Structure 1
């Protein structure tokens, strides 16, 4: 007696095995991330970015 499988079942099984192997291949990095410096350049363009001599303000600065 031979077992006949539906071709869609074979495709489903192939996709399932591929997805599970991909999820296991990802490494989980639980260590603390390195501290990096983020530098942001701004250009005065009222009312988006304004500089009053001591600090920046404006719509873009507030949204940042």
Structure 2
């Protein structure tokens, strides 16, 4: 990791570090989700039911699904 980045992080307060951590988690989650969540899945991601619908987006911008089963 770039030493300059580490120096900047050391200068941050705890609230700024927490915000940075949450943003990094969101970016990692989005990257890991990749194209698998970009479109509508054919079945409920949790129980594999055919009866579900999109219910907006979470804080990371990923789609949320509501199962009807």
Q: Considering the TM-score relative to the shorter chain, is it more than 0.5?
A: no
Q: Which has the higher contact order (CA 8 A, sep 6+)?
A: 2
Structure with the greater alpha carbon radius of gyration: 1
TM-score (norm 2): 0.35
TM-score (norm 1): 0.37
Identify, as 1 or 2, the structure richer in strand: 2
